Structure 1
């Protein structure tokens, strides 16, 4: 049960990493500092005040940069691998002690990195669509939705992890349905 719960938390945090790389890591750090979350052995650095401050600065820089026209599109290129790495680390930091080290890393890479990558790729598609249809004028709305989604998913992942997995599954199904509908209209 503990393993399933930690995977649910990992999925939620990884999905949030797909929206914004640093927001879930900052939420984990703050939660660690106030005692709401205890990272796995080897990830105690998340609970250091200096790391929390650094993540706060990185979060503010990342969120701000997405409001600069055309920089947001360039950031999407860099953010895809970064989101996958952050999703892997976030999942590993919450992984269960019941799993072997190899199984924990395998699950973190597959589940965490995969979830973050899938969400990030969908945000890239939404931003590209926004850029193409509005010339980039609509991108700040997309950016606002992304960082708010990252924050809410991160907090909910630590409070109600099973609900977050349900939300992620629904978002995925909705996204696939939208993509199929769009493809059929283009054909």
Structure 2
């Protein structure tokens, strides 16, 4: 018997919303710059300024706007640390903008010396999304190009297969010509 999946909304922090409102009023954008992972499960609060047991913080690896209400981005967690992921923080420079955690639930696990790539989709329908942008770091996993890269790889494999078949046909013709004395 499977356990039903529990879904919980991201909690936008008061300081994150204040920073977004301030940027919006000045005609500026709120940069989403980092994602952090922590090891404590709880019900997030809009007054949080940090994760309770933050283990790692990394730069955004890739980002795209799905539509006016959804933003998707990725983050690559790697390195020697190992921990159970039970809380996620979304940052604008030094400001915690949003928190995600579910009481008594593990979200993922980060193993030592292994990379964990996570994709996040944010519902931003209640926010002025025209004032949110992502600052992508150098550790880009190119997750959003997966379909294009797969298609390119497939085309290259087909081309390689055709070249091998052509070379094999040429070898057979040369062998027949050699046996015929040409």
Tell me, yes or no, whether TM beats 0.5.
no
- Higher helix fraction: Structure 1 or Structure 2? 1
TM-score by length of 1: 0.23
TM-score by length of 2: 0.24
Structure with more contact order per residue of length (Cα contacts < 8 Å, sep ≥ 6): 1
- Higher strand fraction: Structure 1 or Structure 2? 2
